[in-house]
Structure 1
Amino acid sequence: MRLTILGGGGFRVPLVYRALLDDPAHAVSEVVLHDTDTRRVAVIAEVLARLARGHPAPVPVRVENRLDDALAGAGFVFSAIRVGGTAGRIRDERIPLSEGVLGQETVGAGGVLYGLRTVPVALHIAERIAALAPAAWVINFTNPAGTVTEAMSQVLGDRVIGICDSPVGLVRRAARAAGVDPAAFDVTGRVGYDYVGLNHLGWLRSLTLDGTELLPGLLADDAALGSFEEGRLFGADWLRTLGALPNEYLHYYYFRRETLGSVRDTAQTRGEFLDRQQGGFFERAGSAGGPEGAYELWERTRLEREETYMAHSREASGGWQRDSHDLEGGGYDRVALALMHAILGDSGTRLILNVRNGTTVPQLAPDAIVETVCEVTAQGARPLPCAPLPEDQLGLMLQVKAVERATVEAAVYKDRDAALRALALHPLVDSPAVAARILERAAREA
Structure 2
Amino acid sequence: MKLAVVGGGSTYTPELVDGFARLRDTLPVSELVLIDPAADRLELIGGLARRIFARQGHPGRITTTSDLDAGIAGADAVLLQLRIGGQAARLQDETWPLECGCVGQETTGAGGLAKALRTVPVVLDIAERVRRTNPDAWIIDFTNPVGIVTRALLQAGHKAVGLCNVAIGLQRKFAALLDLAPADIHLDHVGLNHLTWELGVRRGGPDGEDLLATLLATHGEAVAGDLGLPRTVLDRLGVVPSYYLRYFYAHDEVVRELGTKPSRAAEVAAMERELLALYGDPALDEKPALLAKRGGAFYSEAAVDLAASLLGDGGPAVQVVNTYNNGTLPFLPDDAVIEVQARVDGSGAAALAVPRLDPLFSGLISHVSAYEDLALDAALRGGRDRVFKALLAHPLIGQFDLAEGLTDRLLAHNKEHLPWA
Normalising to structure 2: TM-score of the pair?
0.91
Percent of aligned positions that are identical: 31
**Cα distance, 1:226 vs structure 2:** 2.0
**Cα distance, 1:300 vs structure 2:** 5.0
**Cα distance, 1:363 vs structure 2:** 1.2
State the 4+ residue runs in structure 1 displaced beyond 6 angstroms: none
The residue identity in structure 1 corresponding to 2:306 is L
Per the alignment, do residues 44 and 204 of structure 1 end up closer, same or farther by CA in structure 2, a change over 3 Å counting? same
The SS at the match of 1:292 is coil
- Extract unaligned runs of 5+ from structure 2: 415-421
Per the alignment, do residues 365 and 258 of structure 1 end up closer, same or farther by CA in structure 2, a change over 3 Å counting? same
- The structure 2 residue matched to 1:195, chosen from 189, 199, 218, is 189
Whole-Å separation in 2 of the counterparts to 1:232 and 1:65: 39
Whole-Å separation in 1 of the counterparts to 2:150 and 2:194: 13
Instruction: Tell me whether 1:274 sits opposite 2:268 in the alignment.
Output: yes
1:322 equivalent in structure 2: none
Q: Which one is further off, 9-18 or 428-437?
A: 428-437
The residue identity in structure 2 corresponding to 1:212 is E
1:323 equivalent in structure 2: none
**Cα distance, 1:303 vs structure 2:** 4.1
1:340 equivalent in structure 2: 307
CA RMSD of aligned residues (A): 2.1
What's the CA shift string for 1:338-392, capped at 9, x where partnerless?
Answer: 1112222362211110001111001111111100000112212110010011111
Per the alignment, do residues 367 and 409 of structure 1 end up closer, same or farther by CA in structure 2, a change over 3 Å counting? same
> Does the CA contact (< 8 Å) of 2:171 and 2:186 recur in 1?
no
**Cα distance, 1:434 vs structure 2:** 2.1
**Cα distance, 1:72 vs structure 2:** 1.1
The SS at the match of 1:406 is helix
The SS at the match of 1:213 is coil
**Cα distance, 1:123 vs structure 2:** 1.1
What's the CA shift string for 1:6-30, capped at 9, x where partnerless?
Answer: 0010001011111111124252110
Whole-Å separation in 1 of the counterparts to 2:264 and 2:222: 25
2:418 equivalent in structure 1: none
The residue identity in structure 2 corresponding to 1:257 is D
> Does the CA contact (< 8 Å) of 1:126 and 1:155 recur in 2?
no
What's the CA shift string for 1:91-147, capped at 9, x where partnerless?
Answer: 111110111110211111111111111111011112111211211111100011111
Instruction: Tell me whether 1:258 sits opposite 2:253 in the alignment.
Output: yes
> Does the CA contact (< 8 Å) of 2:227 and 2:243 recur in 1?
no
Per the alignment, do residues 432 and 58 of structure 1 end up closer, same or farther by CA in structure 2, a change over 3 Å counting? farther
The SS at the match of 2:102 is coil
Q: Which one is further off, 380-389 or 431-440?
A: 431-440
> Does the CA contact (< 8 Å) of 2:7 and 2:36 recur in 1?
yes
**Cα distance, 1:230 vs structure 2:** 5.9
> Does the CA contact (< 8 Å) of 1:170 and 1:230 recur in 2?
no
Q: Which one is further off, 372-381 or 272-281?
A: 272-281
**Cα distance, 1:197 vs structure 2:** 0.2
**Cα distance, 1:227 vs structure 2:** 3.2
- The structure 1 residue matched to 2:330, chosen from 362, 365, 382, is 362
**Cα distance, 1:419 vs structure 2:** 1.1
1:213 equivalent in structure 2: 210
Whole-Å separation in 1 of the counterparts to 2:122 and 2:356: 36
The SS at the match of 2:168 is helix
The SS at the match of 1:363 is coil
> Does the CA contact (< 8 Å) of 2:227 and 2:242 recur in 1?
no
1:181 equivalent in structure 2: 180
The SS at the match of 2:282 is helix
**Cα distance, 1:228 vs structure 2:** 3.6
The SS at the match of 1:77 is strand
Whole-Å separation in 2 of the counterparts to 1:380 and 1:337: 15
> Does the CA contact (< 8 Å) of 1:345 and 1:378 recur in 2?
no
Whole-Å separation in 2 of the counterparts to 1:238 and 1:124: 43
The SS at the match of 1:156 is coil
- The structure 1 residue matched to 2:233, chosen from 233, 238, 244, is 238
The residue identity in structure 1 corresponding to 2:94 is E
1:417 equivalent in structure 2: 385
1:324 equivalent in structure 2: none
The SS at the match of 1:105 is coil
Aligned residues: 409
**Cα distance, 1:430 vs structure 2:** 4.9
What's the CA shift string for 1:38-83, capped at 9, x where partnerless?
Answer: 1111111121122123432232111121111111101010000100
**Cα distance, 1:432 vs structure 2:** 2.5
- The structure 2 residue matched to 1:437, chosen from 381, 402, 405, is 405
**Cα distance, 1:414 vs structure 2:** 1.3
What's the CA shift string for 1:157-181, capped at 9, x where partnerless?
Answer: 4x2111111112223323443x351
**For residues 325-404 of structure 1, what are the structure 2 equivalents within 5 Å?**
331-343=298-310, 344-345=312-313, 347-404=315-372
The SS at the match of 2:189 is strand
Whole-Å separation in 2 of the counterparts to 1:346 and 1:50: 26
Whole-Å separation in 1 of the counterparts to 2:302 and 2:55: 26
**Cα distance, 1:445 vs structure 2:** 2.8
- Extract unaligned runs of 5+ from structure 1: 310-328
**Cα distance, 1:285 vs structure 2:** 5.4
Whole-Å separation in 2 of the counterparts to 1:377 and 1:281: 36
What's the CA shift string for 1:187-245, capped at 9, x where partnerless?
Answer: xxx543311100010111012225222112333x1x42123466663232111211211
Q: Which one is further off, 87-96 or 51-60?
A: 51-60
The residue identity in structure 2 corresponding to 1:263 is L
Whole-Å separation in 2 of the counterparts to 1:29 and 1:346: 16
2:419 equivalent in structure 1: none
